[in-house]
Amino acid sequence: MSDKGSCLVIGAGPGLGAAVGRRFAAAGHPVALAARTPGKVDAFVAEIEAAGGTARGYAVDGTDEAAVVDLVAAVERDLGPLSVAVYNASGRVRKPIAEIGGDEFIEAWMRCCHGGFLLGREAARRMTPRGGGSILFTGATASVKSYAGSSGFSVGKFGLRALAESMARELAPKGVHVAHFVIDGGIGVDAGESRLDPDAIAESYYQTHAQARSAWSWEIELRPWTERY
């Protein structure tokens, strides 16, 4: 097991989640990639291992409290003490307010915010006694700016940002670094660099984790050079 500690990514899709896993694996962290669908992360795990890293895939519903508790315990058992926890999952419903069902609204909030709380709490329980570690949350434009028709997404992202700020204030004096990332733009790769390259975002996540304690960031905004804001 690496002395750098393990890195857990919940919401490990083919874009940012996989890129974060690759970047932390390249830095020597054993990486746990978790997604709701069994087998979804197998290709990403194989890619990391082919490059010489250590990775394992897990299936988890990030909104299920018992499942998240079990996942964190399994990651520490399989890959070593948790030193980086990344919550990259989200849910949204794009409808006018008069058309959003109560169940739809709650489901989006659960995936955007409640899941972040569950992972953040479990990571804090592990990291605080050790006096170190990073808990990183993926936000969006909707974390700070709510558009018409996006209430079913913005409420969850606003909540996740509030969670991250509260945790950062509480846990920094205990040696645990909490940071929230406002991803202000679409994620992808194109010739004009008008979208955020997932590998470039992942680099910012890693560099934030690597910050010296004398100069920690609690929030980082990332956007392509063409983005208006």
Question: What average pLDDT score do residues 188-196 get?
Answer: 90
- Average pLDDT for 53-79: 97
Residue type, 167: M
List of residues 6+ apart from 48 with CB closer than 8 A? 21, 22, 25, 31, 54, 55
Residue 192 falls inside a structural domain: yes
Instruction: Give the largest CA-CA distance in the chain.
Output: 52
pLDDT of residue 227: 85
The pTM score is 0.96
Question: Does 227 reside within a domain?
Answer: no
Chain mean pLDDT for the chain: 95
The Cα–Cα gap between 32 and 82 comes to 10
Tokens 């569950």 label which residue?
A: 118
pLDDT at 2 over 80: no
| Percent of the chain clearing pLDDT 70 (strictly above) | 99
Could you say which DSSP state residue 191 is in?
A: T
Looking at the 3D structure of the chain, how many domains does it have? 1
Report the percentage of the chain scoring pLDDT > 90: 90
Parallel/antiparallel/unpaired status of strands 55-59 and 31-35: parallel
Residue 34 belongs to domain spanning: 6-222
- Mean per-residue pLDDT, 200-209: 98
Q: Collect all residues with Cβ–Cβ distance below 8 Å to 220 and sequence separation of at least 6.
A: 179, 180, 181, 182, 204, 208
Q: What's residue 93's pLDDT?
A: 86
Considering only residues 75 and 93, tell me which one the structure prediction assigns the higher pLDDT.
75
The answer to the question of residue 90 being in a domain is yes
**C-beta neighbour count of 41 within 10 angstroms:** 27
Q: Residue 33 falls within a domain, yes or no?
A: yes
Specify if 124 maps to a domain. yes
| Cβ-count burial 66-100 (b if 16+ within 10 Å, e if not) | ebbeebbebbbeebbbbbbbbbbbbbbbeeeeeeb
Here the CATH number for the domain that contains residue 90 is 3.40.50.720
Q: Which has more pLDDT, 92 or 127? A: 127
Question: Residue 91 — very low, low, confident or very high, per pLDDT cuts 50/70/90?
Answer: confident
Q: What is the DSSP letter of 216?
A: -
pLDDT band at 1 (very low <50, low <70, confident <90, very high): low
Q: Which pLDDT does position 23 carry in this prediction?
A: 98
Is residue 229 included in any domain, yes or no?
A: no
Q: Is residue 56 part of a domain?
A: yes
C-alpha dihedral (11, 200, 198, 132), degrees to nearest 10 = 0
Domain-located, residue 171: yes
* Mean predicted confidence (pLDDT) in 223-227: 91
Res. 38: pLDDT tops 90 = no
pLDDT digits (tens, 9 = 90+) for 4-31: 999 999 999 999 999 999 999 999 999 9
